[in-house]
Amino acid sequence: MAQVRYDQRVLVLVEVRGGAHDWEEAERRFDAHGWPLRGHHPCGEGPLRGVLPPDPTSRVYEVEVRLFGAARGCDRGASHRVRKVMRAARLEAYVRRAEPLVRDREMFSHWKVFSTAHRRAGRGSRLRRLVDRYAVRLGRYDTDVRVSGRPAQALRLARADGTSGYVASTPVAVRPLDGRWRANVGYWPEEEGERRLFRMVCWTLLAAASLVFASGREGSALWFWCGVVVLGLAGALWSGTRLYRRGRLAGGVIAAVAVGVFAAMALGLLDEHGHGWTRMQGPGHRRPGRRTRWPAAARAAVDVG
């Protein structure tokens, strides 16, 4: 059954020996596992020209193996799966190369197209310009068109001929809907940015939860949890500085604010009754008043005793 969902794509060069009959069987196995076949070449031709010796009974396939899971080690996992499938089919096949296909999406800035037909030829009064500026920010003159790209690209996309013809026949401009258009902050691609944000949140949660465990402790336990708090704070600030390509200070400030918010929630400073997180809410702690379920054999043994 072919796979429908997957997380990673790995381009694998597989050398299959044995002639036309074995080549057809290998292609059927690739199709059965939902691995697209990008092409094939005689051994010694194509991408491995000059690397492998020419062999008329051998063929090199370019197979796109699709896998679930994290990106780390996906090349090894794809190679193992191909070898396992070929071995189960009793085919003489060799994985010559495995390369992950990284196709992370770039984070473009989003823009809203608005009409400039309301603007007068003259400059107008200062109050008029101020009111007009805020009306544009509030979306008073917005159209039903949204574009994405860099500032110059967004303006050209807004003035391009659309399917309805409305944008092409009306003077328009664009206004940003986010802060990605600023040149002083460089954003990572979408999935890489999500991974970095996830790491920062984990470190901030560690620092906040450690404060809860440190409260009410004495002696060595107090020093241990204080060390964990410092570790979580340092990890949060370090991961925050790596949140953007540029603008390390902005990322560090965001991490510091996140640590402060989670710490205030943990200590109950944001709750009107002053209730924060408790150690009983952590994993492995049984709620008060909750009865323990004993197996039937254990209950019988207790009754007999």
Encoding tokens for residue 146? 């949204």
pLDDT tens digits in sequence order for the chain, 305 residues long = 444 688 889 999 999 999 999 999 999 999 999 999 999 999 888 888 888 888 888 999 999 999 988 788 889 999 999 999 999 999 999 999 999 988 877 788 888 988 887 776 555 677 877 888 888 888 888 888 888 888 888 888 888 876 554 445 568 888 888 877 776 567 788 888 888 999 999 999 999 888 888 877 788 888 898 899 999 999 999 999 998 887 788 888 999 999 988 888 887 766 666 666 765 554 444 444 444 444 454 444 434 44
- Give the per-residue pLDDT at 190: 80
Closest C-alpha to 98, from 47, 31, 53, 59: 47
Answer for the pair 58, 22: CB distance below 8 angstroms, yes or no.
Answer: no
Answer for the pair 94, 14: CB distance below 8 angstroms, yes or no.
Answer: yes
Cβ neighbours of 92 (radius 10 Å): 14
Closest C-alpha to 88, from 144, 9, 32, 128: 32
**If you ran DSSP here, which 8-state letter would residue 149 be given?**
S
No. of helices (H) and no. of strands (E), the chain: 9, 7
Kindly report the backbone phi and psi dihedral angles of residue 183, in degrees, each rounded to the nearest multiple of 5, phi listed first.
Answer: -80, -20
Output the CA angle 94-97-99, nearest 5 degrees: 140
- Give the per-residue pLDDT at 156: 87
Task: Quote the CA–CA distance of 264 and 31 in Å, as a whole number.
Answer: 55
Distances (CA, A) of 146 to 92, 133, 150, 217, 249: 54, 19, 13, 55, 31
Query: Which residues does 109 contact at the CB level (< 8 Å), separation at least 6?
Result: 148, 149, 150, 151, 154, 176, 177, 178, 179, 180, 181
Q: Which residue has the tokens 């068109």?
A: 145
Tell me the torsion sign for CA atoms 147, 149, 151, 153.
negative
